C-alpha cells in the first residue's frame, strides 16, 4: 500500500491506504491557436509553459473507534487544510514532489459505518520537482560550475553574500548588486530580491538568471564572498 504526504501530513496518520499507483498525466503544452480564414494551417503561438495536471488516488480507510461521519470529517479537514498550493509527495515517486491543491466533490463511500473508500484528486502544477534540487550548493570561488540534470531550465533561489558585486551565469546572464548588506536573496522564479522582510529590488539591475540543462558556469566580480544556490531542479 502506498502513502500520500500532503501539506506536511501523511495519509498514514489518517489510516488511509492507497490501493495502487496513480496513473501518470503528462502535462499539456500551452499553445494559442489562431485560424485565419482563407489560409491553410492555423497560426500556433507557444506560450512557453505547461498546463496543470490531475493526480488521482484510489484509497480506502477504516474508522474502528469512531463513527464514519466523524472520521470522514477529519480526513476532509486534512485535505482542506490549505486553499492554495501545498507540497504533495507519495511513495510511488520518492525522488520528486509536486505543488498541488485538493479538488472538491469527492465522495466517501460508507462501508458498515466503520470503513470507507474514496477517490482523492489533486490539481497539480505541471512540474515534478527533484528533491535533490532542494539542497543548497555553496560556491566560494568566483569561477565554478553547476550541472542541471534535467532537460528544463531551473529558476533557482540564490543567496549572495558580501557588500557589492556582479554575479554572472553562463557569460550571458548578469545581475549587479549595489548594496548586498551582508547578504541578499534572489528568487529567480518570482524575480524578487530581498533580505528577510526588506525589499531589495531597488539595489539590483540586470537579469535574474536561470540554470540551463547541462553545465552552468558561475562567476562574479566585486566584493562577493560566497554564493549559495538552491537550484530547484524540475521536470515533467
The tens digit of pLDDT for each residue in 62-77 reads 776 667 778 888 888 9
- pLDDT at 3 (0 to 100): 96
- Please identify, among 110, 126, 142, the residue that sits at the C-terminal boundary of a domain: 126
pTM, whole model, 2 decimals?
0.89
Helix ranges (DSSP H) in the chain: 68-79
- Please identify, among 94, 111, 126, the residue that sits at the C-terminal boundary of a domain: 126
Sign of the CA dihedral with 87 first, then 90, 92, and 95 last: positive
Does residue 153 register a pLDDT over 80?
yes
Q: What is the domain count for the chain?
A: 2
Q: Which pLDDT tens digit goes with each residue over 30-49? A: 999 999 999 999 999 999 99
- pLDDT at 65 (0 to 100): 65
b/e code 85-124 from CB counts within 10 Å (16+ = b): ebebbbeeeeebbbbbbbeeebebeeeeeebbebebbbeb
- pLDDT at 115 (0 to 100): 76
- pLDDT at 196 (0 to 100): 96
Its domain, for residue 189, covers 130-235
Q: Are residues 16 and 95 in the same domain?
A: yes
3-state secondary structure of 202: helix
Q: Are residues 147 and 202 in the same domain?
A: yes
- pLDDT at 19 (0 to 100): 87
Q: Are residues 153 and 217 in the same domain?
A: yes
DSSP 38: T
> 10 Å Cβ neighbour count for 2?
17
Please indicate whether residue 157 or residue 63 has the higher confidence score (pLDDT): 157
Stretch 4-23: mean pLDDT: 92
Stretch 1-14: mean pLDDT: 93
- pLDDT at 66 (0 to 100): 65
Stretch 174-198: mean pLDDT: 97
- pLDDT at 74 (0 to 100): 85
For position 80, which CATH number holds? 2.40.30.200
Does residue 114 register a pLDDT over 80?
no
Q: Are residues 82 and 188 in the same domain?
A: no
- pLDDT at 107 (0 to 100): 66
Stretch 7-26: mean pLDDT: 91
Q: Are residues 84 and 152 in the same domain?
A: no
Q: Are residues 98 and 118 in the same domain?
A: yes
Does residue 109 register a pLDDT over 90?
no
Position 234 confidence tier, pLDDT thresholds 50, 70, 90 = very high
Does residue 198 register a pLDDT over 70?
yes
- pLDDT at 28 (0 to 100): 95
- Please identify, among 95, 126, 157, the residue that sits at the C-terminal boundary of a domain: 126
- pLDDT at 73 (0 to 100): 84
Amino acid at each position: 500500500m502506498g502513502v500520500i504526504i500532503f501539506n506536511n501530513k501523511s495519509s498514514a496518520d489518517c489510516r488511509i491506504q492507497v490501493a495502487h499507483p496513480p496513473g501518470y498525466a503528462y502535462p499539456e503544452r500551452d499553445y494559442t491557436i489562431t485560424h485565419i480564414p482563407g489560409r491553410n494551417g492555423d497560426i500556433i503561438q507557444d506560450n512557453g509553459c505547461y498546463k496543470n495536471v490531475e493526480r488521482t488516488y484510489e484509497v480506502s480507510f477504516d474508522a474502528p473507534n469512531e463513527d464514519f461521519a466523524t472520521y470522514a470529517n477529519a480526513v476532509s479537514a486534512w485535505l482542506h487544510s490549505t486553499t492554495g498550493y501545498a507540497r504533495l509527495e507519495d511513495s510511488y515517486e520518492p525522488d520528486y514532489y509536486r505543488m498541488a491543491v485538493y479538488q472538491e466533490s469527492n465522495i466517501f463511500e460508507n462501508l458498515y459505518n466503520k470503513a470507507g473508500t474514496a477517490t482523492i484528486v489533486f490539481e497539480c502544477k505541471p512540474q515534478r520537482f527533484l528533491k535533490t534540487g532542494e539542497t543548497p550548493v555553496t560556491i566560494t570561488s568566483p569561477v565554478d560550475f553547476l550541472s542541471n540534470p534535467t532537460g528544463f531550465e531551473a529558476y533557482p533561489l540564490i543567496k549572495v553574500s558580501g557588500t557589492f558585486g556582479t554575479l554572472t551565469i553562463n557569460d550571458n546572464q548578469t545581475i549587479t548588486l549595489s548594496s548586498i548588506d551582508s547578504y541578499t536573496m534572489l528568487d529567480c522564479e518570482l524575480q524578487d530580491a530581498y533580505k528577510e522582510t526588506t525589499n531589495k529590488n531597488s539595489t539590483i539591475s540586470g537579469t535574474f538568471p536561470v540554470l540551463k540543462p547541462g553545465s552552468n558556469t558561475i562567476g562574479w566580480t566585486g566584493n562577493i564572498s560566497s554564493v549559495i544556490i538552491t537550484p530547484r531542479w524540475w521536470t515533467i
